[in-house]
Amino acid sequence: MPRKTHYYRFYFEVARASFRRQLVYRWTNLTGLIVNIFFGAIFSYVMIALFQARHDTAGYDLRDTLRYIWLVQALIMVVVPFGWTDLMLTIRSGDVVSDLSKPCDFYWYWFSREVGSALYYFLFRTVPIYLGGMLLFGIGLPGGWVSWLGSGFFLLIGAALGIAFRFLYNIIAFWIIEARAMVTMGQVIATFFTGSYIPIAFMPFWLRSITLWLPFNGMMNVPTEIFTGKLFGGALAFEFLRQALWLVALTLLARGIAAIAARRVVVQGG
Amino acid sequence: MAAKTTTMIETHDLSKAFRIAKRRPGLFGGMRSIVDPEMRTVSAVRDLNILVERGEMIGLIGPNGAGKSTTIKMLTGVLVPSSGKVTVAGFDPHRQRRALASHIGVVFGQKTQLWWDLPLIDSLLLLRHLYHVPAERHAENLAHMRAMLDLDEFIHTPVRQLSLGQRMRGDLAAALLHDPELLYLDEPTIGLDVVAKARIREFLLEINRTRGVTVLLTTHDMDDVEALCPRMMIVDHGRKLFDGPVTGIRERFGGERTLIAQIDPADLATLPRGGENQPIIEGLPAGVRQVPAESPQVALAFTRDALPAHELVAWLGARIRLRDVTFEEPDIEDMIRHIYEDGLLLKEEEEAVSVG
Ligand SMILES: Nc1ncnc2c1ncn2[C@@H]1O[C@H](COP(=O)(O)OP(=O)(O)O)[C@@H](O)[C@H]1O
Ligand SMILES: [Mg+2]
């Protein structure tokens, strides 16, 4: 059927449009970039001070820790962008009704949009921020092609997990009037459990044991640890299994809830 | 493919009731409402029977809250009816929404399906992939729309920078690029200035005539209907009050028109004053009454059968010097009040049976 190729083309074009849409907000993005670099620098100085007393924490030396810090700043907008309320706002305004009535899949439509902006953030945040870390703190680049390939692949999974998660805490707006509070909560939970405040490796044992099983672990910690060479071999295969299952589960959940929301719109008119 | 019949839209006793939670007053009431909500039912559309033929241009008119948008939503399939039957272009809109989508175009006056931050052209190009339109067909349609709607002057401008009228033109193009046979417009002229309204109306007439697109539009503006539609339906509180030709509609249901006269200041001083210091015109002809207006204006409401408009102007002009006169036509709210008050509904229902 020649139509099938067309079918995927739409999602590709949505991602492209979303990428271009980000290009419009040059100045906002530049400010964000500066803020990320600023935080990277602050955290780096704190860690340098800490490491003067102590030389190895949870198998991380100073350089590993600095790389981790800069990778977090570099990846955060790709995986868990701050204040993402795009979907929630369409629910508020009622525009969601026209999106739901489009002859395309609602979830994959939003997924494609987010893939487009994730790609933007990768090019215009991740790369320059990490370069900033290299220039300011000499964090360098890991050597092995395995860590490049592995972290690249797991970053794709991480980004997809992040999209499913933010879709979920936005779509709650169909049922809860104070959806903004949910967005804030979703944001805080994600930021904490992805290891953006405290590296997961530094968490107390009991907390780490829980966190490693959560999907947030796959969003940022796994690609980062592969990049810095902390995660390899059999452990990698295990992480793949764990996070691939999460990805399937969250995607199914997101699509399921989207279907319930669509039914609600169809009966109650939004 | 649906069979090509001559019927485009057919509904039978189409109804929609919304159930909404009512809040009890006070703190305890509020808490009780959470666990044990008291539900209230709003009948947005009641027993609506619509029959629209292919190629028709039909206006659905009614005041705010009449159920126009709810009706459109049921006709597109985004809202499931509470009861009744509906067929659009041979499809059951709710069950076959995806299939129907490529046969219809929809424009909601207060919403846009265009990408806010991107140039208009980007949204128009993206739509080709949403509806799987062959490239040549899409290019042809786009060229046609660009010419008819004069899109070229702003097609590379981000949508958020467009005026309301320009955005509406963009949205019309977006709704028509996939060659729909049926176009729904929900309040397409709302908020537009006179020039923009005229342009949109001209365009709608054109696509209806040259492309044979069936158009169903809702409005609360009588002028839209008079300019565009040979046939109209009046709805109020979810019920159809009238279904028939537009010509002569104001004469039949029009109620009172209003003459607004700008009085010469010298003569204004000579007029007696009533409540709130309003100038009073004395000895008005039968069927004419004075209604409040802002000085130096005087407003006279009169029925069509009382006397012709020019006679009223002549009558007034013989008594005081007039700077300027304008007429205000009754709006849809006036007409509906008139329909109820004079029991026109019953008479028309009999007529509607013989028409439809
Ligand atoms: N989603 C909804 N939930 C509850 N009530 C609704 C909903 N949508 C519309 N209504 C009610 O239904 C009635 C008709 O609304 P609508 O179709 O929007 O009217 P119109 O478009 O003619 O202004 C109104 O009383 C409105 O408050
Ligand atoms: Mg409406």
- Three-state SS for A228? coil
Q: What pTM was computed for the model?
A: 0.86
For residue A95, which residues of chain B lie inside 8 Å, CB to CB? 111
With 90 as the cut, is the pLDDT of residue B178 above it? yes
Which one of B97, B125, B129 has the shortest CB-CB distance to A101?
B97
* Geometric angle at alpha carbon B166, from B179 and B159, rounded to 5°: 90
For residue A21, which residues of chain B lie inside 8 Å, CB to CB? 115, 117-118
DSSP class of residue B90? T
Can you give the residue ranges of every domain in chain B? 7-15+49-250, 256-328
**B98: how many CB neighbours lie within 10 A of its CB?**
13
* Geometric angle at alpha carbon B29, from B24 and B35, rounded to 5°: 95
Task: Report pLDDT for A223.
Answer: 95
CA of residue B305 to ligand 1 center, whole Å: 37
Average pLDDT of B176-185?
97
Name the region of B6 (left: φ>0; alpha: ψ -120 to 50; beta: rest).
alpha
The one-digit pLDDT tens for each residue of chain A (270 residues) are 344 446 789 999 999 999 999 999 989 999 999 999 999 999 999 999 988 887 777 788 899 999 999 999 999 999 998 889 999 999 988 888 888 888 899 999 999 999 999 999 999 999 999 999 999 999 999 878 888 999 999 999 999 999 999 999 999 999 887 788 888 999 999 999 999 888 898 899 999 999 999 999 999 999 999 998 888 888 899 999 999 999 999 999 999 999 999 988 888 876
The Cα–Cα gap between A220 and A71 comes to 9
The set of residues, in sequence order, having a beta carbon less than 8 Å from that of A176 and lying 6+ positions away, is A182
Average pLDDT of B132-146?
95
Cα radius of gyration (chain A): 19
Residues B158, A24: C-beta atoms closer than 8 Å: yes
Residues B77, A269: C-beta atoms closer than 8 Å: no
Q: Which two tokens stand for residue B330?
A: 């009754």
For residue B109, which residues of chain A lie inside 8 Å, CB to CB? none
Mutate one of A14, A98, A108, A268 to test the B interface: name it (highest B CB count within 10 A).
A98
DSSP class of residue B349? H
B66 lines ligand 1 (CB under 6 A): yes
By CB neighbour count within 10 A (0-12 exposed, 13-18 middle, 19+ buried), where does B200 fall? buried
Average pLDDT of B318-346?
79
With 80 as the cut, is the pLDDT of residue B124 above it? yes
Q: Name the average pLDDT for chain B.
A: 88
How do strand B83-88 and strand B57-61 relate by DSSP bridges? unpaired
The set of residues, in sequence order, having a beta carbon less than 8 Å from that of A167 and lying 6+ positions away, is A87, A107, A110, A111, A114, A254, A258
Give the nearest chain B residue to A103 (CA atoms).
B98
Instruction: Tell me the shortest Cα–Cα distance from A49 to chain B, in angstroms.
Output: 45
CA of residue B42 to ligand 1 center, whole Å: 8
Cβ atoms of residues A62 and A47 within 8 Å: yes
Beta strands in B192-321 (DSSP E): 214-219, 231-236, 239-245, 256-263, 288-291, 297-303
B67 lines ligand 1 (CB under 6 A): yes
With 90 as the cut, is the pLDDT of residue B237 above it? yes
**B136: how many CB neighbours lie within 10 A of its CB?**
8
Would you call A41 an interface residue with chain B, using a CB distance cutoff of 8 Å? no
CA of residue B190 to ligand 2 center, whole Å: 10
Average pLDDT of B2-15?
85
For residue B113, which residues of chain A lie inside 8 Å, CB to CB? 98
Instruction: Tell me the shortest Cα–Cα distance from A117 to chain B, in angstroms.
Output: 13
With 50 as the cut, is the pLDDT of residue B16 above it? yes
Average pLDDT of B331-354?
66
DSSP class of residue A94? S
Would you call A264 an interface residue with chain B, using a CB distance cutoff of 8 Å? no
Q: Which two tokens stand for residue A251?
A: 């995607």
Task: Report pLDDT for B304.
Answer: 76
What percentage of chain B has pLDDT greater than the value 90? 57
How far is the CA of A138 from the CAs of A36, B86, B137, in angstroms?
17, 69, 56
Task: Report pLDDT for B127.
Answer: 95
With 90 as the cut, is the pLDDT of residue B159 above it? yes
Cβ atoms of residues B17 and B74 within 8 Å: no
Q: Which two tokens stand for residue A68?
A: 């981790």
Q: What is the ipTM of this complex?
A: 0.88
Beta strands in chain B (DSSP E): 7-22, 38-48, 51-53, 57-61, 83-88, 104-108, 182-186, 214-219, 231-236, 239-245, 256-263, 288-291, 297-303, 322-328
Cα radius of gyration (chain B): 24
How do strand B182-186 and strand B104-108 relate by DSSP bridges? parallel
CA proximity to A227, closest of A61, A72, A42: A72
Which atom belonging to ligand 1 lies closest to the Cα atom of B68?
A: 22
Instruction: Tell me the shortest Cα–Cα distance from A89 to chain B, in angstroms.
Output: 13
Q: Which sign does the torsion angle of CA B218, B333, B286, B259 carry? A: negative
Give the nearest chain A residue to B105 (CA atoms).
A102
- Superfamily, domain B7-15+49-250: P-loop containing nucleotide triphosphate hydrolases (3.40.50.300)
pLDDT band with cut points at 50, 70 and 90 for residue B356 = very low
Give the nearest chain B residue to A104 (CA atoms).
B130
Residue type, A159: A
The Cα–Cα gap between B143 and B207 comes to 14
Q: Which two tokens stand for residue A145?
A: 């092609």
DSSP class of residue B37? P
The Cα–Cα gap between A98 and B130 comes to 13
With 60 as the cut, is the pLDDT of residue B84 above it? yes
| Sheet of B288-291, strands arranged across | B288-291, B297-303, B256-263, B322-328
The Cα–Cα gap between B185 and B152 comes to 23
Instruction: Tell me the shortest Cα–Cα distance from B356 to chain A, in angstroms.
Output: 30
Among the bound ligands, name the one nearest to the CA of residue B68: 1
Looking up tokens 């981790």 gives: A68
With 80 as the cut, is the pLDDT of residue B255 above it? no
Highest mean pLDDT among A98-102, A198-202, B141-145, B306-310: B141-145
The Cα–Cα gap between A100 and A258 comes to 9
With 80 as the cut, is the pLDDT of residue B28 above it? no
More confident call, A39 vs B247: A39
The Cα–Cα gap between A269 and B15 comes to 14
**A153: how many CB neighbours lie within 10 A of its CB?**
14
**A107: how many CB neighbours lie within 10 A of its CB?**
20
Is the bond into A81 cis (omega within 30 degrees of 0)?
no
